[in-house]
Every structure is written in C-alpha cells, then in structure tokens.
Structure 1
Amino acid sequence: MQAAAAAAALGFLLLLLAGASAGDEAREAEAVRALLARLLGPGPAAAFSVSVQRSLAAESGLDTYRLSGGGGAPVRVLGSTGVAAAAGLHRYLRDFCGCHVAWSGSQLHLPQPLPAVPDELTEATPNRYRYYQNGCTHSYSFGGGTGPAGTEIDWMTERINLALAWTARKLVSSQVYLALGLTQLEIDEYFAGPAFLAWERMGNLHTWGGPLPHSWHLKQLYLQHRILDRMRSFGMIPVLPAFAGHVPKAITRVFPQVNVTQMGSWGHFNCSYSCSFLLAPEDPLFPVVGSLFLRELTKEFGTDHVYGADTFNEMQPPSSEPSYLATATAAVYQAMVAVDPDAVWLLQGWLFQHQPQFWGPPQVEAVLRAVPRGRLLVLDLFAESQPVYVRTASFQGQPFIWCMLHNFGGNHGLFGALEAVNRGPAAARLFPNSTMVGTGMAPEGIGQNEVVYALMAELGWRKGPVADLGAWVTSFAARRYGVSHEGTEAAWRLLLRSVYNCSGEACNGHNRSPLVRRPSLQMVTTVWYNRSDVFEAWRLLLTATPTLATSPSFRYDLVDLTRQAVQELVSLYYEEVRTAYLNKELVPLLRAAGILAYELLPSLDNILASDSHFLLGSWLAQARAAAVSEAEAHFYEQNSRYQLTLWGPEGNILDYANKQLAGLVADYYTPRWRLFLETLVDSLVRGIPFQQHQFETHALQLGQTFALSTRRYPSHPQGDTVDLAKKLFLKYYPRWVAGSL
C-alpha cells in the first residue's frame, strides 16, 4: 500500500514539474552554444552542433543526452533539455578529450582533431533532480550573500538542474511589510546584514549586521533577474523562497491582537539578535502575509512552481504536539497553493537530523503528512554521514533528494567521505519503498575540495557507484592537469585513502584543526587518517613541478596541499608546546612556540598569498563590490570580516566559518597564537596557572580589532608558488621523516 502511494506521489511530482520546466528548446540550445563559446572560445566551439528536443526523454521524462560525430565531423550534442545537453557536452569533454572544469580553473586542451564518438552514445539520468546549494550557501560563498555569478551558473550546468534562487528576497519582504503598515525604519531594523541573511530567512537571527542600504535591494533585484534568466535559459528549475512564518516584532504594533510566539535564542546570541517572532499558524494574518509575499515575488520574477521554506531550522518548535506541528506545516503550504495551485514545497530535512531528540516518529510524521504526497520535496541534507530517510520510512512516502552536505561554513581543509558518497545514492535508491527522486550537493560553502564535487557530479548521472575509486581518482588527476604523471596520480591515491576517506563521527565536515581555533590547552589534534599520507602526497606532488609548474590547477593544488601540510605541522608543534608547558620545561616550550608562531604561520601566509584563490583581499573585494559608496563598501567588508572570525559581536559562533587566507592568517590567527604562546611562557616563568578565561578576553579584543579594521589587503597574488612550496618542504619534511619536529 505504501509503495503504491509513494509511486503515485512521485508520478504526480514528475508530471507536474516536467511541464513546469519545459521552456523553449531553441533558447536552451542557444544557451548551451553560448556556454561552449565561453568555455572553449568561438573557434573551437564551432566544431560542435547542439540541439534540444524534449522528445528525447518522452518515455521516462528524465534528462537525457545523445552524443555522436567527431573525428573530423562536428561533434553532435542532443539533449532533452538545455542542462541535459550541457551535461552531454561536459561528458564529451571529460571522457573523450580529457578535460576538466572546476571552481579553481579549467583544463580545456582539446585534442585535434576532436575524438570521434565510436558509437552513438545515449545516456539518461536515473534521477529526476540534481540539486544544488544549502540554505547557507549564499551567505558563506558569494561575497557576503550576493548570489551566484554567471561563471558559477556555468559550473552548475554540468552538475544540476534544480537550485536555490533566493537573491532579492528582502526587497519583496520589505514591500510586503510596508503594505501591511510597518515603517521602513522598523523593517530596516529587522533585517540582518548581508553576510547573515541566510539565518534571518530561517528565523535564527534578526538585526545583527544590519541595516541593509537601499542600494543593496536595488542591486539584488537586478542580480536576481540575471540569475533567473541565466538559469532558465538552460532549463534549470530555480527554487524561489516562500513565507515560513517568521515576522518582525513590529507587526504587533500594527496588529495588536496578532498571535505570535517568541522563539528561543540561537547560536549563543541573546534576544537582541535572536528569539524571532513566529506567527501562529491559525492566526488569520498568516495566510495574508504568506500569500501576499508569494504573489509579489512571482509577479516580479515569474515561477517554476518550486518554493523553499524552513520554519524550524535549528529552532525548537513551541510545542511538540503533533497537532501543532501539522497545523504549522499546513499553514505554510496553504499560503503557497493559494497563489500557485501547482506549488511544490522544497523542505530542508536538516531539522530532523539536527534535533533528533525532539523530532521523534510522531513529530516527523505530523510534518510530512501535513502536505499532500508529492507536493513536499525533502532534502536529506547530510545523507552521506547521517541519512534521515532510513529512520523515517523514506520520509513517510514524500519524495526526497539524497544530498551530500560535505562542507560547513566554507572551511578550508582537505576533507571528504568519498566511499560513503560513492555508495550512498545507490543504497538510497534500493531502500525498501524508496521515494528518492534525485541527488544533491548541499555545501554550506563552495570553492574547496573539488574532487568531492567532481565525483558527486558524475553520480548524478550514474545508476550505480563507481566500481574502482582508486582508478577514478587517478583519471581525475590526469584530467585536472591535462597529462598523466606518476607522481600526481600516486599523490591523489594517498589523499583518497586518507583525508578523503573519512568515516564515523569524525565526518561532521568541520575543520577542527588547532590552526583555525582559539587556542587552549584542551584542543584535540587527533585525525581519522595517517598524517604520513599527507606528507608523502606533498612530496609526490612536488616531483611533478618540472612538468606541471605552468598548470593553474596544479599550482592551486600545490598551495592547497602545502596549506594542509602546514595545518598538520601546527597540530604537531602545538602538541610539543602543550607537553612542554605541562612538564614545566621552558626551553622546549620556547623552541616549539617560536617555530609555530614566528616561522610556520608566516610561511603559511606567504604560500597562500601566491594564489588568487587564497587571498583575504579577493574575499573582501568581492564583498565590497556590491557597494555604491566607500561607506557602503566598508559596511559590507565589516560584515564579511565578522563572519570569517567572530560571527557575532562577542564571538557567538567563533571561527565556525574559518578559512585559511593570506592576510587572515597574518592578522587574525597569528596574533592570537602569539598571544596564547606568550601567555603560556609568562605563566611558566612566573609560576602561576594559565588563565584561559583571561586569555579569551584578550583574544576577543584581538578579534574585534581585526573585524573593525580598515586595513586593505592585496587582491593579486604575490610570490612564486612552486618556490615557496619547495622551501617549506625542504625545511619541514626532513624533520617529519626524522621525527625531530
């Protein structure tokens, strides 16, 4: 019975959204041709013939592509949608030409003539959806929350057909609240700053980092139209925001009898910035606000009928009664369908994973059954580590997307659970009465660990796991650098079995290295892998410098792996510091502290400064780019600085969004480490206990000084990556091998 109901629900969803994503075949084909020209240049792009025909997927309704030609004739790419054709194009570039497209850069050296497709190749995805983004991705990735640029959408074409599009939401919200009688001042006081908008949307925060300038809303409006135009031109399905129930406190001034509940605090913030107000689902104002918001939104941006809303994300509901939870859920959905009868609600399933002690079977069932089957599309957000579908009977028959979260806060640090990622989607598809309808990439922050996303992109089109990950990562290395090299391929196999083979409780996606944490004597330095593999991979990658030194991807990876090696060294020298302090040995303490603070960290900043992807100046320039005045630029930069470090005014979510950027290492992490180490030395010399609380008070002051600073940082790389990496290697690798760090 459940299987039949699930099948019916899935059939409805597929039918509904297949029609919603139909669009114009000619426009989508032209979008892929333009993509080709951007990737390859107009000349090489002319060797490809691109067309889009919906009939290619007439039977299954699933994205399908067909490849043929080449070998002196044009390479013919046919897709059932624009994104299907783009996926076919990327498949040809990857498997026939040995090319690679990534955030850090692309390797697109085409063989001449273009290789022939031996037999006509037709491929259909087993997944209706290939989803992208997390509710936090905009805030952690796009210069303080601005939204994806055109190059990011080009990257998406290989990998996804369903993605969040929440830019300019605040402008629509502002219009709604003005129409309801709130003043502009009340609205401005409610909205969070640009680097923190994700959490205001989910009801976790308000006010902090704000107010938003008027120019912000206008630029966001323009950007959202550009994003939607580009996404829809490929046949992607943008997910627009919907009203989840959170309202400004000022609504009680306009409607004194309104029924609202003040929620609890979140993220170590007090109620000045947290404790949001939730409109009661049974209050007559709820459908008014919800429908008005969606009506204004769709009038401005059109719709593809999928909407995202998260009422209780990391927020404990006011009641655990199933009847309340069902009513609250139904209210959100009813406000959607009152405006769009074809609405499908995209819900992040993170709430069920984040607070499992609250979300027992009755509570989960109340939410999932409050929306008709097939009209709630659930993201199993952290399925590679803690899947929810297995304990909710495949989300009670609601369709779900198996997602890889992978990264929290946009942290740097080599990390992945590739074995679990490789097996996960196939296992979910085979789960009894499975309602899985897609795969997804849901990182909180992008631009790191590109091998993880390369694998996930392929899995979106695979019917089963990669048979041999060792062979897969070997070919990945060859494509990435454009040439097979024994050293690089061996290095990547070592990384696969170490940093990219996380399992168990360690796989929470956070970089917990002491390097990027406020120091204490209790920091954990254990890792799930053998550090020897990281150092040996470092050595092997360096053996390829005579051959690959001009490859941008190789130089990026050399910086990243050197950065990881230094991260490991910081942990090891910290252990020496702690041991020497606890044993009251001043000379070893001085030696290890001096190396860590005055040699290792400055050297790390130098190697990071040699690549544009690891520059604080570039990160802050991206935030400042949204400004129309120097005052606004400083405001956006300050938002970004806070998010990278203290997160809140008092270090409320300290170092959560940690990154290793040149400038950030020099002016934030290094002064803090020096303060810690100097305090330890002073404590030992004077024979008094180390006072952690006193140190944290001074460390917070350092953090606030950095966050409020106006110092400008270079946005262009300085120094030679290869030379700097070799110097670091020659200095520290022999010590590691000899055990004499």
Structure 2
Amino acid sequence: MGAAVAGVLGFLLLAAAGGSAGDEAREAAAVRALLARLLGPGRAAAFSVSVERALAAESGLDTYRLSGGGAGARVRVVGSTGVAAAAGLHRYLRDFCGCHVAWSGSQLRLPEPLPAVPEELTEATPNRYRYYQNVCTHSYSFVWWDWARWEKELDWMALNGINLALAWSGQEAIWQQVYLALGLTQSEIDEYFTGPAFLAWGRMGNLHTWGGPLPPSWHLKQLYLQHRILDRMRSFGMTPVLPAFAGHVPKAITRVFPQVNVTQLGSWGHFNCSYSCSFLLAPEDPLFPIIGSLFLRELTKEFGTDHIYGADTFNEMQPPSSEPSYLASATASVYQAMVTVDPDAVWLLQGWLFQHQPQFWGPAQVSAVLGAVPRGRLLVLDLFAESQPVYIRTASFQGQPFIWCMLHNFGGNHGLFGALEAVNRGPAAARLFPNSTMVGTGMAPEGIGQNEVVYALMAELGWRKDPVADLEAWVTGFAARRYGVSHRNTEAAWRLLLRSVYNCSGEACSGHNRSPLVRRPSLKMTTTVWYNRSDVFEAWRLLLTTTPSLTTSPTFRYDLLDVTRQAAQELVSLYYGEARTAYLNKELVPLLRAAGILVYELLPSLDKVLASDSRFLLGSWLEQARTAAVSEAEAHFYEQNSRYQLTLWGPEGNILDYANKQLAGLVADYYTPRWRLFMEMLVESLVRGVPFQQHQFDQNAFQLEQTFVLSTQRYPSQPHGDTVDLAKKLFLRYYPRLVAGSL
C-alpha cells in the first residue's frame, strides 16, 4: 500500500480508534435489546453479548468473535462495536442455526439446544465501512415511516453490519429556522419546499415547490423521528451522516439580499422552471459561508454530530461552467462551510454525477472536484459500481477514499432483477485495483423491499475478503435458510432464478423495470429480456409443487406471490407482443383474442393474487401516508403525494411511471384501464382502416392517469384471498398454454 493511500485510510480509521467503557456498555445493551426484539426475551437469554474495543486494536476494523453454545451453554458474541456484535450474532443465526432475517419476514426456528461453535471463530471486515441508503430511498421507501418501522429497519441494518448511513430526517425544520433568521417569510419558505414524497430531489436541488407545502406538523414529527433514529444508530456504534449546505437557495433569497450572486440552473426531469431550475449561490459570494455555517451550526446544535456530512451540488444538473477553476471553487466552498463549524468534517459525496453525465465530467472537471478537498476528507460513493464503476476511469478517485456501492434498484420498482455475478466479483476487484483507496462496500438502492437475495449477498460481501466461490451453492443455502427447510424443488427454482433474472450483465442492467405491464402502452415497447423466460415459468412451477409442505412459511408465500407476479409480467409481454403483431398484420380476430385475454383475464387475475398479501396492496401503501397525518385534510394531501409518486410523478407525467409498483388496486384501477384504452384504440384503428394515433392515445391515457391520482377512492389495507390458491389458478390457466406454445 502506497504512503498516500495509507494516509487516506489512516485518517478515516481514526473514528474507530476511540470509545470509552461507557460506549462499550451502551452498545452491548443496544444489541441485547435488539436480540430480545428479534427472538423474544426467553430465547435471547441463551446468548451472551459484549462489546470490547480491544478486539479491533490492531486493524481498527470491525471484528466479532463467536464461541460457546451446545449442551445448554450460552452462545458468546463479542464485537469491537455494537454493529460488529450484531453482525456476529447474525452470522451465528444464519450459518449455525439456518435462520433468515429479511424485509418480507424472518425465519427464526432455532435448533434445540443451540448449536455449538466448534472452534472459536473470529472475523474482521476487510474495510472500514459498510454503507447503506441513497438520498432517494428517503422518498421512495422511508417517507411515511413511523418509529416502529424505523426501529425494524435499524435492527436489520445492525444485523447486516451497516455502520455508515444517512440520517436526513428533520432537516427541513432546521432549514426553516435558518431561512426565517435570514429574513425570508413563512410563505416564501412554504413555496420553496417540495411535498414529503419529493423531498429527496428538493434536498439535491433538482426540485422546489412541487407537491408542497410541508405542514407544520410534518416538521415536528420528523424532528422527533430524527432524534430517535440518531439515538438508536449511535447506540449501535453506527456513524450517522448528516446533511450539509450544497449551495442551493430559495429564489426568495434575492428579495432579502438584492445584490446576491446566484445562477439559475437548467431544468430537471422534464419539469419546467415552476418546479425546477434551482438557484445556485456563487461560491465566491459572501453569503455562501454564512448560510453554510449557519445551517450546520443549527443542525449540530440540535442533533450533535459524528463528523460526516452529505451534500450534492450538481446531482443530475449540469454546472453553469465547465471551467475547472469554477468547479474547484464551488466544491471548496461547500467543504469550507463544513470545516468552519466542524474542523473534523468529512464530506460524503454521491459519485453519481460523474456516472450520470460523463460527457460533461471529463478528466479536468473530475480532477477539479476531487482535488478541491484535502485528501481523505472527501469520501466518495461509487454509487452504481456493480454496473458502471467510476473508480476505474478516475484512478481510484485520484486518491480520495471511496465506497464500492451496489445501487441495484431505481424508483422502488417491483420486478425480479439482479446482477449477482457482477455484485459478487465487484468489491474484491475494487480492493485489488492498483493503488486502490476503497474503504468500504455499500448498498444504495433508490427503493427497498424487493429482490432480497441481492441484498443478502451484498451484506455478506461486506464481511468477506473474497467473492463467494460458488454462487449456485450459495443461493441453494439461501433458499434453505429462507424457508427453514431444504427442499429439492425450491432450491432448483432458485438456481433457475439465479441463471436468469439474477444474472443480468451489460447494458440491460439498468435496474429499472421496463416491462410493458407498468409502462404507458405504445406500439414501440420492447419485450426483449436478457434471460430465458422459460426459466421463470419453470421456477414458478417448481415453487408450486412444494406448496403442501411450505404454505405455513411467510417468506415462501411472499416468494410464491413474487414469482407469480413476475410470471404474469412475462405473460403481459407475450400477449402484448401477440396483439402488436396481429395489429401490424391487420388481423382483427387474433388482436381481439390477445387483447381480451390481457385486459379481461390476466390483469384481473394478477390483481387478485396481489390482493392476497398486505405487502402488495395499494391500500397498505396509501394507509402509511394517511397515518402520518394529523387531520383529514393532511391525510388527503399525503395520499395524493403518494399517488403522484407512483404514477405521474409530476403534474404532467413528467417522469411517468418511474416509481412503478405492482400493487393490488394499482393494477386494477391504473394499469388495466390504460391497457383497455390502448387495445380499444388499436381495434378501432384496424376496423376503421386509419393509422393508430399514439399522440391521441397519450392524451386520453393522461386523463385516466390524472383521474386515478386525484381520486379519493379508498383501497383495502388488509389482504383478501389465499395466495397459494390464487397462484395455482393463474398457473393452471396459463402454464399449459405456455407448454403447448399456444398462448
């Protein structure tokens, strides 16, 4: 390791070196409380948990030690931090007890007695950090959460060894204080903030105003949540990342300070300047350090600090100048405002800007940003490294430390997807890169709660020096743990999924679900996928053969529904393909047949299957939003925010269907009416002998979409029907046709 690289890593390791006996006791107590929540107090008593900083004295890297168990003896878990102890506990439950902890549910049938650890097992992570979250996750997944849901997530994070994560709730309340102190009026502040479902893009300067304003109660609840989140994170020994000033300001700042030097940036995401085109304060303006330090001072006074701050000045927005001197000045100003308040500040930067606009960010521009912050004080997230790593073309970010991240999911879409081979190989390759400054691994999905196998692998890689040697064997073990029993057919099904939907490579690996099912229909939609659809259908069949023995497993029922949903998604593509071919060949009868099956059989059947599980209900999604409110007016406002995000995203369908979900109710009342209209217009076009008018369809479809968004119809938040029975019915209706090749 070169001297420069060692210096970078040494600085970042300082945070792990300290810690008092009081910290050790607090972190151990936090993990014991987690254990009691996970297993219940009785079973938790079979474990001994302690935290000893000395365990990582040599390396400074999180380490855990497992021993004991068997013949009535307690299992002893020792960690260098609370997070390390929780990760060690998870390792024992996973590898010794065959248990499984996931978003969709857990399988925690412990053997009696608890298995012994044959030889004392000590494991150290190869990197300083295991990072979690994307700025967008706060809007696509966390936005309506209460403390009970946050507590579950924080437990999941600790068990998966996460020790660095964003903690961005409540920041708008602090910004409101700052803007009021600067002389803005409350109405000007209200006009600036976006609604709750769009705050992520307000925080990165992409949007303002859209979906707002924020009610006063929002600020109070988010402040309360942020305090609880930070307290729990710190009790585990995690490092919370707080927000910092990136340079974006409300337009109203020009009223209070008429001489201020601001630049209006270009529009973003097909929005016009009513909601986009943010104002960026010039780095040399004397107001820049005042606002930046004022915000951070108020923020840290309220929440304390762990010295790492996130800010994104040019996320998906082209800077006003490509001159390296300007870019260096803008970057230095953000950093200087941090260290003015906190001399130990480290800036966490999402490296997405370099990946998203490579034509702008040439070598000189990248160097200007990376060189404007002292080496070791800029921690870069290589956000989409499993698909498009930036560290390779920037010489390991020119000596700045970076975290190899898996982004995986865009918009919180449903759809089986993953690039497990690339994920498996990526961290080790980055670690071995010449003069690598890699200091961690990360999971940075825009939305969570899907494709849990991908996240299980990525979390495990945070503690491995080398890739998993045999992914087929690994996924076989994953299936056995997930359902609590080894079963030949479930394991075969997962191996088929591994070689198909989870084996994405190349340009297809965008992470977006581009299925025609969840897109506004047109004659130009692609139905091409990177895998053999027959593998998905065969996995579906294999899972259904195991239902007699696994119907009591919540994780199995979830997976059966998810694979059934995927099979239906594939069928939509096939029937759409038939309808399009029939239309182009001017064959009315085949068009009517394919259209009838798709609109009147397949989509209603899919909606019924989804309705059998609360995790796939539009009603559950909207109820989260309504429950966050303190009045009926607020509940309606929050629900509309949520409906917009799922569908139109903006007032005119600005980022249409980006955050698509396959939820009961959404399929029935949003996707199906759109498909019905499309097929009706195709038939009418053929009957009348006139060309299909896509523009007219888009206008008519927008009316349907807007009607759905503005509707006040309530949807069930409790499941209805039996997943297994409904999946079987759908299978028996369509699988024989697939086998016969006669859809």
Fold match (TM-score > 0.5): yes
Output the CA distance in 2 between the equivalents of 1:645 and 1:516.
Answer: 9
Output the CA distance in 2 between the equivalents of 1:459 and 1:16.
Answer: 22
- The answer to whether the Cα contact below 8 Å between 2:144 and 2:628 also exists between their aligned partners in 1 is no
- The answer to whether the Cα contact below 8 Å between 1:144 and 1:196 also exists between their aligned partners in 2 is no
- The answer to whether the Cα contact below 8 Å between 1:82 and 1:233 also exists between their aligned partners in 2 is yes
* 1:149-197 alpha-carbon deviations (Å, 9 max, x no partner): 1111111112211000000010000100000000010000000000000
- The answer to whether the Cα contact below 8 Å between 2:145 and 2:624 also exists between their aligned partners in 1 is no
Output the CA distance in 2 between the equivalents of 1:580 and 1:372.
Answer: 63
Paired residues for 1:259-274 under 5 Å: 259-274=261-276
Structure 1 residue aligned with 2:40:
41
Q: Secondary structure in 1 aligned to 2:2?
A: helix
Structure 2 residue aligned with 1:621:
623
Q: Secondary structure in 2 aligned to 1:278?
A: strand
Structure 2 residue aligned with 1:346:
348
Q: Secondary structure in 1 aligned to 2:266?
A: coil
| Shift of residue 6, structure 1, vs aligned partner | 2.0
Output the CA distance in 1 between the equivalents of 2:17 and 2:570.
Answer: 49
Structure 1 residue aligned with 2:357:
355
* 1:591-623 alpha-carbon deviations (Å, 9 max, x no partner): 000000000000000000111110111111111
Question: 2:16 matched to 1:14?
Answer: no
- Which amino acid in the other structure matches residue 564 of structure 1? Q
| Shift of residue 135, structure 1, vs aligned partner | 1.1
- Segments of 5+ residues of structure 1 without an aligned counterpart are none
| Shift of residue 145, structure 1, vs aligned partner | 7.6
- The answer to whether the Cα contact below 8 Å between 2:644 and 2:650 also exists between their aligned partners in 1 is yes
Paired residues for 1:102-141 under 5 Å: 102-141=102-141
Structure-2 change in CA distance of 1:417 and 1:553 (3 Å): same
Structure 2 residue aligned with 1:326:
328
* 1:610-650 alpha-carbon deviations (Å, 9 max, x no partner): 11110111111111121000100110010000000000000
| Shift of residue 401, structure 1, vs aligned partner | 0.2
- Which amino acid in the other structure matches residue 469 of structure 2? A
- Which amino acid in the other structure matches residue 331 of structure 2? T
- Segments of 5+ residues of structure 2 without an aligned counterpart are none
- Which amino acid in the other structure matches residue 527 of structure 1? V
- The answer to whether the Cα contact below 8 Å between 1:144 and 1:640 also exists between their aligned partners in 2 is no
* 1:213-262 alpha-carbon deviations (Å, 9 max, x no partner): 00000000001011111111100110000000000000000000000000
Output the CA distance in 2 between the equivalents of 1:180 and 1:196.
Answer: 25
Relative to the length of structure 2, the TM-score reads: 0.99
Q: Secondary structure in 1 aligned to 2:76?
A: strand
Question: 2:438 matched to 1:436?
Answer: yes
For 2:729, which of 727, 732, 735 is the aligned residue?
727
Aligned residues: 740
Structure 2 residue aligned with 1:698:
700
Q: Secondary structure in 2 aligned to 1:351?
A: helix
- The answer to whether the Cα contact below 8 Å between 1:309 and 1:346 also exists between their aligned partners in 2 is yes
- The answer to whether the Cα contact below 8 Å between 2:296 and 2:341 also exists between their aligned partners in 1 is yes
Paired residues for 1:193-342 under 5 Å: 193-342=195-344
Output the CA distance in 1 between the equivalents of 2:320 and 2:77.
Answer: 53
Output the CA distance in 2 between the equivalents of 1:391 and 1:368.
Answer: 13
Q: Which moved more, 1:153-162 or 1:238-247?
A: 153-162
Structure-2 change in CA distance of 1:25 and 1:413 (3 Å): same
Structure-2 change in CA distance of 1:197 and 1:20 (3 Å): farther
* 1:327-351 alpha-carbon deviations (Å, 9 max, x no partner): 0000000000000000000000000
Output the CA distance in 1 between the equivalents of 2:333 and 2:217.
Answer: 33
- Which amino acid in the other structure matches residue 44 of structure 2? A
- The answer to whether the Cα contact below 8 Å between 1:417 and 1:502 also exists between their aligned partners in 2 is yes
Paired residues for 1:571-590 under 5 Å: 571-590=573-592
| Shift of residue 143, structure 1, vs aligned partner | 4.0
* 1:448-495 alpha-carbon deviations (Å, 9 max, x no partner): 000000000100000000000000000000000000000100000000
Output the CA distance in 1 between the equivalents of 2:263 and 2:16.
Answer: 35
- The answer to whether the Cα contact below 8 Å between 1:247 and 1:277 also exists between their aligned partners in 2 is yes
Relative to the length of structure 1, the TM-score reads: 0.99
Paired residues for 1:310-709 under 5 Å: 310-709=312-711
Output the CA distance in 2 between the equivalents of 1:293 and 1:22.
Answer: 33
* 1:24-61 alpha-carbon deviations (Å, 9 max, x no partner): 11111011011111110110000000000111101111
Output the CA distance in 2 between the equivalents of 1:169 and 1:665.
Answer: 35
| Shift of residue 572, structure 1, vs aligned partner | 0.1
Structure 2 residue aligned with 1:58:
57
Output the CA distance in 2 between the equivalents of 1:57 and 1:625.
Answer: 44
* 1:361-387 alpha-carbon deviations (Å, 9 max, x no partner): 000000001000000000000000000
Q: Which moved more, 1:168-177 or 1:150-159?
A: 150-159
| Shift of residue 5, structure 1, vs aligned partner | 1.4
Output the CA distance in 2 between the equivalents of 1:431 and 1:21.
Answer: 36
Output the CA distance in 2 between the equivalents of 1:29 and 1:415.
Answer: 37
Output the CA distance in 2 between the equivalents of 1:383 and 1:198.
Answer: 21
| Shift of residue 20, structure 1, vs aligned partner | 8.1
- Which amino acid in the other structure matches residue 123 of structure 1? E
Q: Secondary structure in 2 aligned to 1:524?
A: coil
Output the CA distance in 2 between the equivalents of 1:106 and 1:582.
Answer: 49
- Which amino acid in the other structure matches residue 273 of structure 1? Y
- The answer to whether the Cα contact below 8 Å between 1:23 and 1:235 also exists between their aligned partners in 2 is no
Structure-2 change in CA distance of 1:281 and 1:457 (3 Å): same
Output the CA distance in 1 between the equivalents of 2:91 and 2:2.
Answer: 34
Q: Secondary structure in 2 aligned to 1:437?
A: strand
- Which amino acid in the other structure matches residue 85 of structure 1? A
